[in-house]
Amino acid sequence: MVDPDGHILYVSASFERLLGYAPAEVLGRTTFSLLHPDDLEATRVQASKVMEGAQQRHFRNRYRHKLGHYVDIQWSAHWLIERGVRIGVGREIGELRRAERELEHRASHDPLTDLPNRRHLHHQLQRAVEQARLSEGHLAVLYLDLDGFKAANDRGGHDAGDRILREVAQRLLDGVRQSDLVARVGGDEFVVLLPGCRDLAGAQTVADGLRARLKPPFALPEGSTELDASIGIACFPADGATGEALLAQADRRMYAAKRAKGARASADS
């Protein structure tokens, strides 16, 4: 129970079990002093709504436990106008939040490689383009298709193919910055998003480095196999003003690179 300014007037015994504070340690303090900083503004807004007569039944925020960690809580609250107090009843929802985060992760990531999937890539690419547009910045998109994967998959079976894809994902991650994004968008197709990459030359250097990382043989129970990659590059804003345009251009250039590589192989044979 709190006053209009959020000063704590009463807490039940469950408050101490949940957050570790004895009543004497919190009476007179404001609830806002116990909140996670990121939840402070939203909680102030909800408190104002409650005092305007709206009953809040499923509002969530995080309170700091006496030991220092944060506890996820879901609240129901209402305003007793005749008493001038706000009453809130909360319950801990840590397990629920963990389950929700797991579902969110599964919806946005590839189950085999744990890389972001196409849906997550589009969301992040849209954000990156908008940020680059507002700051007059740059970014690059690399569209990568594995050369030789189908033959390796046919020879070793799906288990071997899965092992190769997981290792490809790790090699790609090892070859980019922490701020970059590597996504799996198809069977053996990957996209690398390079925020802040200024030009084609910089993107080409990254692409060459990634191809080099994929060159060492992949060890499999039935023997090692070698792969290469065809990579198409598109840069913002030179090659497109939207994420969709950049992906399409990078995709076209990837297929052009693959056709050129095939033509050279035919000429050599």
Structure tokens at 43: 């909680």
Structure tokens at 158: 């799906």
Q: Angle formed by the axes of helices 149-174 and 200-214, to 10°?
A: 120
- Contact indicator for 113, 167 with CB cutoff of 8 Å: no
- Out of 72, 110, 180, 188, the active site residue is 188
Backbone torsions φ then ψ of 174, nearest 5 degrees:
-70, -15
Helix (H) or strand (E) holding 70: strand 70-80
Q: Which of 208, 58, 193 is nearest to 129 (CA)?
A: 193
CA distances from 70 to 36, 56, 152 (A): 7, 22, 48
Whole-angstrom distance, CA of residue 54 vs CA of residue 76: 11
Apex 57 CA angle, 52 and 61, nearest 5: 95
Structure tokens at 36: 């996670």
3-class SS at 172?
helix
Apex 72 CA angle, 68 and 75, nearest 5: 125
Q: Would strands 85-92 and 70-80 be described as parallel, antiparallel, or unpaired?
A: antiparallel
The verdict on whether 188 is a catalytic residue reads yes
DSSP symbol at 37: G
Q: Among all residues, which ones are annotated catalytic? A: 188
